[in-house]
Structure 1
Amino acid sequence: MASIKLSVERLTEGLYIKLPLQWTDHPFLLNHFKIKDHQQIRLIKNLGVKFVYLIPEKSDTKPLDPDTPVDALTEDESHFLDRQAEKLWKEKQGRITRLKNYKLKLQRCEKNFNRSMGQLRSIVGKIKSRPVTAIQEAEGLVEDMVDALLESDSIALHLMNDSKESEDIYFHSLNVAILSMMLAKSCGKSAREIKTIALGALFHDMGKLKIPSAILRKTTPLTEPEQNYLKLHTKYSLDLANLAESFPEAAKPILSQHHELLDGSGYPSQLKGDEIDNNAQLVAIVNAYDTLCHPQDPNKARIPYSALSYLFKNKKEQYNSDYLALFIRLMGVYPPGSVVQLSNQQLGLVISVNSESLLFPNVLLYDPSVPSNEAPIIDLEESGLRIEQAIPPHKLPENVHTYLNPRIRMSFYFDADD
């Protein structure tokens, strides 16, 4: 939007302005906002700036005339203003500290994610030649993740870095395992059940290692023979698990039944309702969600918000309704990876959802006055802002898209609060 350079002497309530300062150089929550009272005007003038940028399209009124007389501050008003400025600065410093701590948490989460991904690559590399070792390592990986998940009451789900195209199976498998574990925890399942679900989710698509890449990578509709070949991956996954006697029997139905649907329209056995293993029903929802976000044809990929809405509106008869409702609560209305427009019209990227505040995720803001690697991350509940709508990344202006860097592939990992 076009902006106009405006003298601070012409400020009045209702103007939408942008400060010519870095986010850390003023006490306000955001670099641009609508002026709500005369106190904010006094605070802006006390920053020592001679002008601000006016955004007429977002303003409710017009600037004061240049010759409008300025009221002098009384001594009491000046002291009050100083106290308010000091209060705002303390709040701002608190936000900056929390932002630094939050970014440290993200770094820790990213480190754990990369370690888990490395372990999964090692497991997959051994699954055919050394299945017993692979299963043992997978059980160790699952044990560590579940223990971390259960140690804390407050769990945040974070958006991770992009994946490499050639490693789709790893990222999909870890995604489904992570989200299935979190869903199982929210259902109140025991540690033993969560570990069974996590192991089954981790191996649910390993049979695709035996499917030709030409079929897996094909972006045009599959022929019927190709579809039938692809559907064999459930059998192949089970075959791989059966190579190791130690693979838990309770996890095997997840491998063979995660494409079965309650109405009998799934595969490979067209099972219906309670004929489908309960844990397989749980993993099926998570698998469907991640597949909607990352289909074989990238042009058909849905944004997280759209994927959840699609499952809820169109697939309720095919999936366990209790698990689906809990999954939507777990992910939040706007899951990590969603590009959103806020109530102040600012754009941002949802990067984490806290299970304690589902409607108020943490959002990385688009602010061209701040380097992208220093972009503020705000807690919506604290900010008083709300999300108005989700925006498909391809509709973003190029400069906004580059800044926010919405992921082509969304990968998730959790972080337990200390």
Structure 2
Amino acid sequence: MANIKLAVDRLTTGLYVKLPLQWTDHPFLLNHFKIKDQQQLRLIKNLNLKYVYLIPEKSDNPPLEPDAKPEAISEQESQFLDKQAEKLWKEKQRRIEHLKNYKLRVQRCEKNFSRSLAQLRSIVSKIKSRPVTAIDEANDLVSTMVDALMESENVALHLMNDKKEHEDIYFHSLNVAIISMMLAKTNGMSAEAIKHIALGALFHDMGKLKVPTAILRKTTPLTPPEENYLRLHTKYSLELANLADTFPEAAKPILEQHHELIDGSGYPKGLKGDQITANAQLIALVNAYDSLCHPQDASKARIPYSALSYLFKNKKAQYNNEYMALLVKLMGVYPPGSVVQLSNQQLGLVISVNTNSLLFPNVLLYDPSVPSNEAPIIDLEESDLKIERAIAPDKLPEQVYDYLNPRVRISFYFDPND
């Protein structure tokens, strides 16, 4: 779309304009919008701008003629508009402060994520040679995370900014642990039960350390012998856990049963329904979700929105439906990591969920007039915008992709002080 420089004195309602200002330098929610009333018109003029950018394709009306006289307003109307403008400025300052605090929380969250990931790498490196030490360290890691999780009423799940490659087992195990812990908390489980779930999640795939890398990284269909070898990882995970007496018995069924399915179509024993422990049913669901987002063949990866929708629509017979409903509540209809198009056609990246209003998450907006590191994060519940659809990242224009930086690897962590 062509942007046309337009003198401020030619503005009228119905024009779609873009302000030549930073997002923090004006009281409007966005840098570009359609002027809907005299209040917005007056507010733009009070910014002391000489011009704005007009986007004709999105405008309802033509601009005023250069010599047109602006519509006269009474002193009473003028005072009212000034008061309304002052309210908008105060609201914008509140939003700016909220955004600063939000970004600080995300930074703290990313530090905790990096710390937990480093600890998990250390644990994995010791699991074969020093299993007792590894499991003791895992218990310490889990205790720290669960204590942080349980200490706050409001816990938000955030999208993490990680760039590591070829560390699938760490990211996957930590992802499954984080989501499972929050799912368990949402389900009202005790801190002790959540610790068992978290420990089981961290170790559920450790048996893959004994599976040849060629099988683990194969992107074409596995042969029957290769598939059988891969399926042994549940047995190997349990064997590794049994090397230390300190691994809780309550967590062990997770290692063995996280691929068992409610309808009996899973492995290794083809268990059905209640034959599978509740904790293993929970981990099985979260494991399936993360695996859909990160399959070995990256070309088959689903965006978070699609992964969640697929499970909900097609896999109800295989997974615990109560946990599935809770997963939707936790992740939101549009989970963190989803690229979305808003009702004003603007694009954004969902970075955290509003658990009280699942259709209105927090979205980082694409706005080329704002540097990407200063991009506004909007709480959709506080705006008049809504999500129209989710978009596959590979369908984005290059400049939008570079700006939003949609994660190739979708990782999550929680902020207990949200």
TM over 0.5: yes
After TM superposition, the structure 1 = structure 2 runs for residues 222-261 of structure 1, keeping only pairs within 5 Å, are: 222-261=222-261
Query: For the residues of structure 1 that align with 2:50 and 2:291, how far apart are their CA atoms?
Result: 53
CA contact (8 A) 1:184 1:194 kept: yes
CA deviation string 1:27-64 (max 9, x = no partner): 11110111110111111111111222222232233323
SS of the residue corresponding to residue 341 of structure 1 reads strand
SS of the residue corresponding to residue 85 of structure 2 reads helix
CA deviation after TM superposition for structure 1 residue 163, in Å = 4.2
Query: For the residues of structure 1 that align with 2:374 and 2:14, how far apart are their CA atoms?
Result: 29
SS of the residue corresponding to residue 412 of structure 1 reads strand
CA deviation after TM superposition for structure 1 residue 73, in Å = 4.2
| Residue in structure 2 matched with residue 96 of structure 1 by the alignment | 96
SS of the residue corresponding to residue 265 of structure 1 reads coil
CA contact (8 A) 2:260 2:268 kept: yes
1:192–1:251: structure 2 CA closer, same or farther, 3 Å change rule?
same
| Residue in structure 2 matched with residue 311 of structure 1 by the alignment | 311
In the comparison of the two structures, how many residue pairs are matched? 418
CA contact (8 A) 2:39 2:85 kept: no
CA deviation string 1:178-230 (max 9, x = no partner): 00000011111111111111110110000111111111111122222211111
CA deviation after TM superposition for structure 1 residue 265, in Å = 1.1
Residue 113 (1) aligns with residue 113 (2): yes
CA contact (8 A) 1:157 1:354 kept: no
Query: For the residues of structure 1 that align with 2:78 and 2:193, how far apart are their CA atoms?
Result: 63
Query: For the residues of structure 2 that align with 1:300 and 1:67, how far apart are their CA atoms?
Result: 59
Query: For the residues of structure 1 that align with 2:57 and 2:273, how far apart are their CA atoms?
Result: 54
- Of the structure 1 ranges 58-67 and 293-302, higher mean CA displacement relative to structure 2 is found in 58-67
Query: For the residues of structure 2 that align with 1:287 and 1:163, how far apart are their CA atoms?
Result: 21
Query: For the residues of structure 2 that align with 1:55 and 1:253, how far apart are their CA atoms?
Result: 60
Query: For the residues of structure 2 that align with 1:164 and 1:225, how far apart are their CA atoms?
Result: 31
| Stretches of structure 2 lacking an aligned partner (at least 5 in a row) | none
SS of the residue corresponding to residue 378 of structure 1 reads strand
| Residue in structure 2 matched with residue 288 of structure 1 by the alignment | 288
SS of the residue corresponding to residue 165 of structure 1 reads coil
CA contact (8 A) 1:155 1:354 kept: no
CA contact (8 A) 1:312 1:324 kept: yes
CA contact (8 A) 1:2 1:55 kept: yes
Residue 358 (1) aligns with residue 358 (2): yes
| Residue in structure 2 matched with residue 265 of structure 1 by the alignment | 265
Query: For the residues of structure 2 that align with 1:102 and 1:27, how far apart are their CA atoms?
Result: 19
CA contact (8 A) 1:3 1:55 kept: yes
Amino acid at match of 1:167: E
CA contact (8 A) 2:160 2:410 kept: yes
Residue 140 (1) aligns with residue 143 (2): no
Query: For the residues of structure 1 that align with 2:50 and 2:142, how far apart are their CA atoms?
Result: 59
| Residue in structure 2 matched with residue 195 of structure 1 by the alignment | 195
Query: For the residues of structure 1 that align with 2:342 and 2:115, how far apart are their CA atoms?
Result: 34
Amino acid at match of 2:307: A
CA deviation after TM superposition for structure 1 residue 270, in Å = 1.0
CA deviation string 1:75-112 (max 9, x = no partner): 33333333222221111111111111111101110111
Query: For the residues of structure 1 that align with 2:205 and 2:60, how far apart are their CA atoms?
Result: 55
- Of the structure 1 ranges 43-52 and 138-147, higher mean CA displacement relative to structure 2 is found in 43-52
| Residue in structure 1 matched with residue 131 of structure 2 by the alignment | 131
TM-score between the two structures when normalised by the length of structure 1: 0.97
| Residue in structure 1 matched with residue 64 of structure 2 by the alignment | 64
The CA RMSD measured in Å over matched residues stands at 1.3
CA deviation after TM superposition for structure 1 residue 14, in Å = 2.1
CA contact (8 A) 1:340 1:347 kept: yes
Amino acid at match of 1:154: N
Query: For the residues of structure 2 that align with 1:61 and 1:243, how far apart are their CA atoms?
Result: 75
Amino acid at match of 1:92: K
| Residue in structure 2 matched with residue 333 of structure 1 by the alignment | 333
| Residue in structure 2 matched with residue 368 of structure 1 by the alignment | 368
CA contact (8 A) 1:154 1:356 kept: no
CA contact (8 A) 1:305 1:334 kept: yes
Residue 153 (1) aligns with residue 153 (2): yes
| Stretches of structure 1 lacking an aligned partner (at least 5 in a row) | none
Amino acid at match of 1:237: S
CA contact (8 A) 2:366 2:375 kept: yes
CA contact (8 A) 2:259 2:268 kept: yes
SS of the residue corresponding to residue 400 of structure 1 reads helix
Query: For the residues of structure 2 that align with 1:142 and 1:216, how far apart are their CA atoms?
Result: 26
Amino acid at match of 2:124: V
Query: For the residues of structure 2 that align with 1:79 and 1:168, how far apart are their CA atoms?
Result: 61
Residue 164 (1) aligns with residue 174 (2): no
Query: For the residues of structure 2 that align with 1:182 and 1:352, how far apart are their CA atoms?
Result: 14
Query: For the residues of structure 2 that align with 1:57 and 1:237, how far apart are their CA atoms?
Result: 60
Query: For the residues of structure 2 that align with 1:50 and 1:201, how far apart are their CA atoms?
Result: 59
| Residue in structure 2 matched with residue 37 of structure 1 by the alignment | 37
| Residue in structure 2 matched with residue 399 of structure 1 by the alignment | 399
- Of the structure 1 ranges 154-163 and 72-81, higher mean CA displacement relative to structure 2 is found in 72-81
Residue 210 (1) aligns with residue 249 (2): no
CA contact (8 A) 1:205 1:255 kept: yes
- Of the structure 1 ranges 47-56 and 106-115, higher mean CA displacement relative to structure 2 is found in 47-56
Query: For the residues of structure 2 that align with 1:315 and 1:57, how far apart are their CA atoms?
Result: 44
SS of the residue corresponding to residue 334 of structure 1 reads coil
Query: For the residues of structure 2 that align with 1:276 and 1:384, how far apart are their CA atoms?
Result: 45
| Residue in structure 1 matched with residue 408 of structure 2 by the alignment | 408
Query: For the residues of structure 2 that align with 1:31 and 1:187, how far apart are their CA atoms?
Result: 41
TM-score between the two structures when normalised by the length of structure 2: 0.97
